[in-house]
Every structure is written in C-alpha cells, then in structure tokens.
Amino acid sequence: MHLIAGLGNPGAKYEKTRHNLGFRVIDLLAKRWEVERYDSRFDGEVGKGRPHGKHVLLLKPQTFMNLSGTSIAACARFHKIAPEHVWAIHDDLDLPLGHLRIRLEGSSGGHNGVQSIIERLGTPKFPRFRIGVGRPASPVPTEDYVIQPFGADERGAAQAMVERTADAVETALKDGLTRAMNLFNT
C-alpha cells in the first residue's frame, strides 16, 4: 500500500495559493481514479483508490502546512505503511515555476511541512514530488509569498504543473520511482 500525501493549508482562503499545489494534485488524482469519498481521519481527509492495481491512500492533512507530519505519520502508522511508500507532494521555492523534481530522500530544504514529516516519521527517507513555485521577484517574505494566489500570468503554468505532477505520480506507481525520475525531473 502507498500513502500519497499532498501538502497544503485547509480552507477556501488558501485554495489557490502556491502552498496548496499538493492538495491540487491530490484532488486531480482523486478525480482520475474516481475516488468519490474522503473520510476525516488522522487530522486529514483520506480517500482510497486502486490505480494500476495498487492500493493507494490519498491524504490531505488538515493540520496546516507546518504540522503536516502529524497527520501523515498517524495515517502511515495505522496502516503500517513504511516510509519509502509514503510519498509527499509539495511546493518548492528553490525550483522555478514549471519545474518538477522527484527525490527519494533528503533534507527538508527549509520547507517546514517536509521538516514536520521528517520529524514525525523519524527519517528523511521518503519520496517527495517537489513542485517549483520559484522565489518572489520583489522583497516579499517567503511565508507571505507562499500563501498568495498565483498571478494571472502564472496560473497556466501552475495548472500544467499540477497535471504533470499527477502524471509523474501515476508513472511512479505503474513503472517505479526511478522511471518517473528519468521522465519527469527537470
């Protein structure tokens, strides 16, 4: 079984922000896999799917970004899912908008949501799908920048990245993470 968690912040206020790309990928995967119901468990919204013959849980933590690990670790422990089968999808300031990078493990890179997962799982050895949002062009604090909606000139690229990331997740489930890395890492 795989646990695929999209990171984001709950509520309509954050729905279209840079920080919520993970939630948007989960929503697209749920639509593709015809996941019709989410249960409220583990401080999150959990849906079940069977793409490519695999048992998959889709999770949108409702703990707010910086505490995402609480929800993800609780779900993983309950379902006895090893960290290498816990996949995190999140925004990344260090990648330009339009870039995707899949990593099998690593540091948080300063991302508080990823740091929370590392702390709660007790390991940095879990795959992550890093979606580039770039850094602000003007001197805006990063904590404000990531909770701003995309500008009109960025929305198309952001939606394309949501679709590309969903394609990468499906490829990873079907053909393995290494294949997905070879095809989708930019």
Query: Are the beta carbons of 177 and 102 closer than 8 angstroms?
Result: yes
Which pair of tokens denotes residue 116?
């929370």
Contact 29, 4 (CB under 8 A): yes
Phi-psi region at 185: left, alpha or beta (left = phi > 0; alpha = psi -120 to 50): beta
User: How far apart (Å, rounded) are the C-alpha atoms in residues 171 and 173?
Assistant: 5
Instruction: Just list the catalytic residues.
Output: 19
Assigned token pair, 58: 């889709």
